[in-house]
Amino acid sequence: MTLVLVHGVPETAEIWTPLRRELGRDDVVTLSPPGFGAPVPEGFAATADGYLDWLVGELERIEGPIDLVGHDWGGGHVQRVVATRPGLVRSWCSDIVGGADPAYVWHELAQIWQTPGAGEEAVAAMFGAPVEERCAGLVALGMTAEAAESSARASGPAMGACILALYRSAAQPALTEWGIGLDRSELPPGLVINATEDRYVGGPEFAHRAAVRFGAREAVLEGLGHWWMLQDPRQGAAVLNDFHASLDS
């Protein structure tokens, strides 16, 4: 059995470190998407389809069965894998499934990144600041100091270019269409993380509707936000361990 963790934007795998300590298992693999704590291969298309192909390739090299967990855009990549290659995993988990709701509207920063000109200016301002300033900004948003420093030091022009390409490839109605793809797939067992204070994904009602829609278990993390795995790693680990144990039984 292998537990695979995939993070999102603008992060590195350091966001998983506290959670990994609490999981109490030695079969955990973290995968860093190109541009987000990992080099960007020459010719890599940093679009949603490019990251889908990347994750499929990584999973094909890992000995299964695989329990796949994604956070933020990592959750988006997970959802696209189970919609197109469900046989690659035993189970899946995502904390952004609410984005598949037809009523979901991209958050304000995402819309700026998706806008030519404004997106480039925003990325330049974000990654042009000193590392210490970038780190402080991420801590203010909810990261721990360790995760924020790792993410800030990994950020730069390559990450910025990947952010713009990825978000522009996912302008609506892309998320709605990917949700329809999930509807049409015979999904393996799933877990929807519903962190009730995560406002990037539309609010807790969006996650709840998604769990019902896709026949997944729902874990409500009351009072936790976007970086729930950093805010309360013990609770996050308990939720994941309970879900995976239920599959074993």
What pLDDT is stored for residue 104 in this prediction? 96
pLDDT of residue 62: 97
Nearest to 101 by CA among 71, 79, 86: 79
Q: Are 98 and 202 in contact (CB under 8 A)?
A: yes
Q: Distance between the two ends of the chain, CA-based, in angstroms?
A: 14
CA nearest to 31, candidates 55, 49, 52 = 55
The answer to whether the beta carbons of residues 15 and 79 sit under 8 Å apart is no
CATH topology of domain 2-105+173-248: Rossmann fold (3.40.50)
Q: What letter would DSSP give residue 33?
A: P
CB-count exposure of residue 90 (10 Å: 0-12, 13-18, 19+): middle
How far is Cα 101 from Cα 34, in angstroms, rounded to an integer?
27
pLDDT of residue 249: 78
- How confident is the model at residue 123, as a pLDDT? 95
Q: What kind and span of H or E run contains 220?
A: strand 217-221
**Angstrom distance (rounded) from CA 201 to CA 195:** 10
Counting as low any pLDDT under 70, the low residues of the chain are none
